[in-house]
Amino acid sequence: MSVDGWNTVLVLGGTRSGKSEFAESLVTDAPVVRYLATAPEGDPEDTEWATRLAAHRARRPGSWTTEETAAEPRRLADVLASAEPNETLLVDDLGGWVTVLLDPDHQPADDVATIAELAEAVRTCSARVVLVSPEVGLSLVPTTPLGRAFTDALGAANRAVADACDAVALVVAGQPVWLKPAATTIPSAAPATTTAPAAPATTTAPAAPATATAPVVASLDDAEPTPEVQLPEVLTHTPPVAPNQEPGNPWAAPTMALPMVATGLVIQQGMELPMPDEYAGPQAVDRLATLDVPGAGLGVLDRVVGFAAATQGTSTPQAWGPVRVLLLHGDHAGGSSAGTVAGESARRAAQARAGRGALARLAAESGASLQVVDTPTAAPIEDQPALSLEQVESALRYGWRLAEQAADAGVQLLVLGACGAGTEAAAAAVLAATAGAEPPAVLGRVITDSGEIDDAAWMLRCAAVRDALHRTRRSPRGAKDILAELGGGDVAVATGVLLGATARRVPVLLDGPVGLAAGMVSRDLAGQARHWCLLADHGGHPAVRLAADVLGLTPLLDLRLDLGEGANALAALPLLRSVLALAAALPVHPSLGGDEEPNPAPDEPEPAYAEPDFTAPEFAEPDFTEPEPAGPGPASTGADEQPASGWRAG
């Protein structure tokens, strides 16, 4: 179960609150789930109820088995009592169970005893159990005797089962709030400032201001996974410290209501993160058809306006302001990096830190800040896991914190790229594990520095991915397992960035295989993350094409740019900004009720013009004397250089 340490969970919620979907997300990591359906079939002529039941059935994976318990209320307790420790059960829901319990066919009966029997079965059940139930305590008292009997019985059942369960969650408008376990004192090392496990934190402390001293680059390879550390320094605006806030606490930013434990944020499957505004995007695109333009409009670039409108929550989105580029630098050992020059990725990272190269120059042109993030080197995936599970947890939290830091600095758009050796093979392995892709079909050709195609290196990469998939053929296919076995540090950090940016409602411009591979993994942790991603150009890369198709991301351009991850997106960024600025500034066409600039009044006098002077201008005689030598000027300070962002264990 995705909720670590909890064997039984009760999920409460109102009608259409999303309680069933949240409960289903808690058991997605189970290979087989026994779905216990408690609701009776109902009136055959009630098509609306039949449609609801059909929707529930269609949502269940094919590996789940369904058992009906509506015939006998006491059968549910018997199933729970006989469940094996290796089983996972999902009961949906107790409202249907109470309906059957109160049915005249099962009366007279001792309802209190039956509810107590169910609660005891939940308490002693050795299997993992998730129960769904309607929360009726917030509604009005029913006006009918039968309605009051149902409310009383269901309220009693909810209280008894909640007392028996290890954890209880309340889902309101699709957002889960954890009510149990009871609030406990969080140790001082815990990043949350509240004692409740589901409570969101307060305001984030700003990043430490950058200094002129050379930064220290750390590595995660030998790091301890538990302690949280301060984020690396970044040359960006430092927000003021909020009142009553400890500056040293990096985990004080408001985010989604996620489970918190003593070691920090729990990144798990089935997280409920925010979605973009589903109405603002279509409204913005419809508005484009009314603008005063001489031609047919923006063409396929209207998708940029729709995306920006949805992520900004307005039908008139503005061009993105502060932009930050996150360049992830982490190599992959073994056959994944076949054909690459040793030390080339480190040279590219150092070049970006020094403000040189295509990426740094394009970032300067776009007014974007650039942060180079060192990630741990991945082991040869053909022989062993790329990372340990502890390193994956640290990498996910680290990426989340990078996104949090960017949001706190006022960044409105993140650009995600990577420059490590072997990233394409790692991305291909992730795609093969998540989308069933064939490695040769998603591995691009290997091009040497001289522009030649290295088929031998390409075959070595294919063999490395093939052997890695064979080695992990019986391994779990959970998101964290894939990152540990195949993905590596850069893909794991990129996944954390996508999740953190989604939680803080910051859109991400993807560029290259690493970002798309992270998108494939993040959808299993929080399906909302892909809706905050934008792809400017696929660059002709087969892995990017496939992942974009699976994620539903249509590239905006087809320029086949290959300037390096991050640089391709920055090259397209001015065009995207221009589209947004134009869409926001243009008025509505006058024929559709828009305002038009008034013409000059008929009796307004014509402007007077001075008579032109055609006399030849006079020129001063040039002075060809030798100039005095200039004194030494000020040396370049290199103020545009960015410090390296070191990796510290999280």
67: helix, coil or strand?
A: strand
Q: Give the C-alpha separation, 277 to 306, whole Å.
A: 10
**CB-CB contact of 406 with 357 (8 Å):** no
Gap between the Cα atoms of 255 and 545, Å rounded:
32
Q: Rounded distance, CA 40 to CA 71, Å?
A: 8
Rounded to whole angstroms, how far apart are CA atoms 95 and 15?
11
Tokens 């795609």: give the residue. Answer: 431
Reference 498, options 301, 273, 278; nearest CA is 273
Cα 482 to chain center, whole Å?
17
Residues 106 and 101: their CA atoms lie apart, in Å, by 6
Residue 638 to residue 591: CA distance in whole angstroms: 54
Tokens of 75: 């059968």
Which 3 state secondary structure label does DSSP give 264?
strand
Beta bridge partners of 91: 36, 131
How far is residue 607's CA from residue 227's CA, in Å, rounded to a whole number? 75
Taking CA atoms, 67 is separated from 79, 89, 557, in Å, by: 10, 10, 50
Contact 469, 336 (CB under 8 A): no
**Could you tell me whether strands 8-13 and 34-37 are parallel, antiparallel, or unpaired per DSSP bridges?**
unpaired
List the beta bridge partners of residue 178: 169
The residues that bridge with 34 in the sheet, in sequence order, are 65, 89
Q: What tokens were used for 418?
A: 């990577």
User: H helices of 336-454, where?
Assistant: 344-353, 357-366, 389-408, 423-435, 439-442
**Token output for 109:** 């009966």
Q: Tokens 């056959």 belong to which residue?
A: 335
| 71 vs 247: CA distance, rounded Å | 60
φ, ψ dihedrals at 223, nearest 5° = -85, 155
Beta strands in 109-216 (DSSP E): 128-134, 167-172, 175-180
d(CA 132, CA 10): 6
- Catalytic residue IDs: 565
Assign 534 to helix, strand or coil.
Answer: strand
Using CA atoms, how far apart are residues 27 and 7, in angstroms rounded to an integer? 11
Tokens representing 580 are: 């947004």
Q: In this structure, are strands 175-180 and 167-172 parallel, antiparallel, or unpaired?
A: antiparallel
